[in-house]
Copies of this chain bind each other. A is one copy, B any other.
């Protein structure tokens, strides 16, 4: 079962430790009493969906013996104006770099992640509409 313990340090800074033993610092802007020493909690969701889907795509492309040389995932989130300001829209762009990548293989990897595998995407889409696109760059 995934777990985390998040401890208050000072100001608005928190340190989170996950069940697998890794730690990160979260903080907020000066206008909310923070000192910008770490990511905003809402940013973690975007990093989460980008890394989750990125791992799926790397995994599928490796299985398909594609020569992947790089992958960049760009994620934008749009929040509701009213509190609690949840995400209403998230857009994800995959920039897939490699040598002679098959467009079919890339499309299939992206679709498998978005439709079937990505747990973070599946969790977030309970609230946010999620759009995605991909671009292939020859290395």
Place the interface of chain A in its size category: 35 or more
Dominant SS among interface residues on chain A:
mixed
Q: How many copies does the complex hold?
A: 2
Interface stretch, picked from A70-78, A101-109, A131-139, is: A70-78
A97 to chain B, nearest CB (A): 9
Given A12-B55, A55-B28, A42 contacting B6 (CB threshold 8 A): no
A29 to chain B, nearest CB (A): 8
- Give 3 nearest A-B pairs by CB, closest first: A126-B126, A126-B127, A6-B50
Q: Which A residues have a C-beta under 8 Å from some C-beta of B? A: 1-8, 12, 14, 16, 18-20, 22, 24-26, 28, 32-34, 36, 38-52, 54-55, 58-59, 62, 68, 70-79, 83-87, 116-128
Enumerate 28 A-B pairs (CB-CB under 8 Å) in ascending A order: A1-B77, A2-B42, A2-B77, A4-B74, A4-B75, A6-B51, A6-B54, A7-B72, A8-B70, A12-B55, A12-B59, A18-B40, A19-B43, A20-B40, A22-B43, A26-B55, A28-B55, A33-B62, A41-B52, A44-B44, A45-B45, A48-B48, A83-B117, A84-B118, A85-B119, A122-B127, A123-B127, A125-B127
